[in-house]
Each structure stands twice: as C-alpha cells, then as structure tokens.
Amino acid sequence: MAEHIPEDMMVKILQRLPIKSLIRFTCVSKRWRFIILSDHQFAKSQFQITSEQTRTRLLLSTASQSEYESLDMESFSVTKLTCPFKQPDDVVRILSSCNGLRLRYFGFGHLSATDDYKVIAKIEKKQQAEIFSSRANTWKTIQVPSDVEPFSEGFLFNEALHWISIKNFPNYSIDVVAFDLAKEEFRKIPLPTTLKNAAALSSFRGCLCVFDYAYNTAGSIYLWVMREYNMADAWTKLFNIKIPIPPENAVHILRPILVTETSTFLRLDMMINAAIESKLVRSVHHQEEKLETYMVSSGGLRIRDMIIFKESLLWLY
C-alpha cells in the first residue's frame, strides 16, 4: 500500500508517529529505514511536531557505570540501557540533555536560528571554558568572568545555559549565571534577597524557576518563578513543598529534579546501615506532606546522575 502513497504525504504521516513505532517501521523497506534513521530534516520535523506529546523521561546512572535506566515519568516503567561508547575503566558522566541528545559536559544547547549545537566545558583550575560548535566543527577557548563560578550541569532555558553560582569570598552570595549560546557571553541574574539556599534550577509554566531549601535538612522547599525572563524584580514565590523525611543525619542528598502542575520529583539519598541508598520520590500536589517512592537504586548502588530528557531521532552531524 505504501507504494501507492506519494512520498511527501507518507513522510508527513510518519513525522507524527512516536519513536517506538518509527523504529519498528524501519523494517518496512530500505527507503523507510533511510528516511527514519538517516534523514536529518525528517528527524528535526518529527521532534518539533511530536515534542509536546512525547513523554518526559528520566535517565539514571549508578556508580557502577555498567548500565543506565530510562524511566517514563508518566507510567513509571523502566527500560535498561547500555552506554554505547564506554571503554574499560572509563568514567562516563551524563550531565546534559537537549532535543533528546545526551552529552557528558557542563553545558549543551541548541540554537534554532542556525541549527547549531554548542557544548561548553569549564577548564579546571582556570577561569576559562571551551566551546564546541557543531556547525563550525571547532573548539575555542573563552574567558570566564572572575565573579562567575558555574559548576555541575547547565540548565538549558531560552537558548541559554544556567547555573547556580555560589561565591564564598569575600562575601557569601548566590546568583544565577547564564551563558547566552548565540552571543557566547556570560551574564548574572540576581536572585531575590530573601532567597538563601538556592540549589536547583528548573522550568515551570514556561518560566525559569529556582528551588530554595535548607540543604540536607527536612522541612520545606520553596519554588520561586521568574515571571519575566532576565528581570531581577520578576521573581515570585509560588508555593511551598512539604518534605517530611527522617532525621537530618540520615539524609545525604535532597535535590529537586522536576516540577509539573501536580507534582514535584526529587532525588533523595539516605544513609541506610552505613550504605547510601538512592530514591526517586514524588511530592504530590506540592503542598501535601506526602512522599511517594517510585524507584530505589538497585543492588544498593548509589545513583550517580539523573537528567530529564525526551526521546528523539536527532543526532549530531
């Protein structure tokens, strides 16, 4: 039947299908296999059309580095994955995700106007960073301002990477540091003066948001939302999430991961019988003092990395 359908119409139909179905359909013909797996324009269009319907997934890796787990955030089904490029004795960290792609650098984002993927990696012990452009296929070194201390993975929002920057000397201060992928420039976004313990960035209702909580303690996590991007006076405290957990000395890490209309997902690492156990928990309706546990690290292994991503057919080219 496919032989009687014009190819342009057939492509438009395929672009609206989920990844799982498309992978199955690569067996239909060599032409379909080429379109689905090798046509970059098809991959871009399919991701743009289905992005809103594509389920959000959580990718987890453990300290063993032998395999990964992909968790569907709606059905909570788990898929086991194997790292395709790990070499013996290598340590592979999964830190960033953009358009379904995952990389092990401190920042990874996409510029839609130029279809350019950019990677940024901070150079250790130097106020410099290296930037890779997929279109130019080159690395270059830029200077990082002395008052900027980005660390961990960058959160991609509004075609800029964002980090929580903490300065301890001479005065303790917390800022959001943004790196504009188009201009390749750093800038600081001041946080509310009443926010004292910023530790995680996310997005909520199309706005940049930051979680405020006392590190490693039970109690409350506050969600601040920037109603208008890059406006310091646009921060609004939206809601307070109650986190009833055991005594402080049992908690190793408490970190918000994802906030939705009805829930907040958090990573909770606890000391159990002299070993650290990692959990993925959900705070229901944000204000209920109730936690639901959806995943516990298998075999007592501590979860090393957790990132949010969506499946896609895209690749770097």
Q: Tell me: the pLDDT tens digits for 101-117?
A: 447 456 788 888 888 88
Answer whether residue 60 is part of any domain.
Answer: no
Binned at pLDDT 50, 70 and 90, residue 216 comes out as very low
Cα atoms in the Cβ-side hemisphere of radius 13 Å centred on 260: 13
Number of alpha carbons in the 13 Å side-chain half-sphere of residue 188: 16
Please report whether residue 270 resides in a domain: no
- Torsion angle (degrees, nearest 10) of CA 314, 61, 260, 210: -100
Say if 242 falls within a structural domain.
no
Q: Distance between CA 35 and CA 31 in Å, rounded? A: 6
- CA-based end-to-end distance of the chain: 33
Among 27-41, 55-69, 79-93, 216-230, the least confident range: 79-93
Question: Is residue 197 in a domain?
Answer: no
Residue 192 placed within a domain: no
Determine, yes or no, domain membership for 26: yes
Evaluate whether residue 193 is within a structural domain.
Answer: no
How many domains would you assign to the chain? 1
Instruction: Give residue 125's pLDDT.
Output: 75
Q: What is the DSSP code string of 51-93?
A: TTTSPPEEEEEETT-S-EEEEETTT--EEEE--TT--TT----
Q: pTM for the whole thing? A: 0.74
- Range(s) of the domain holding residue 42: 1-54
Any idea which of 20-24, 33-37, 82-86 has the lowest mean pLDDT? 82-86
Of 192-201, 203-212, 237-246, 255-264, where does the model show the most confidence?
Answer: 203-212
Q: Examine residue 146 and state whether it is found in any structural domain, yes or no.
A: no
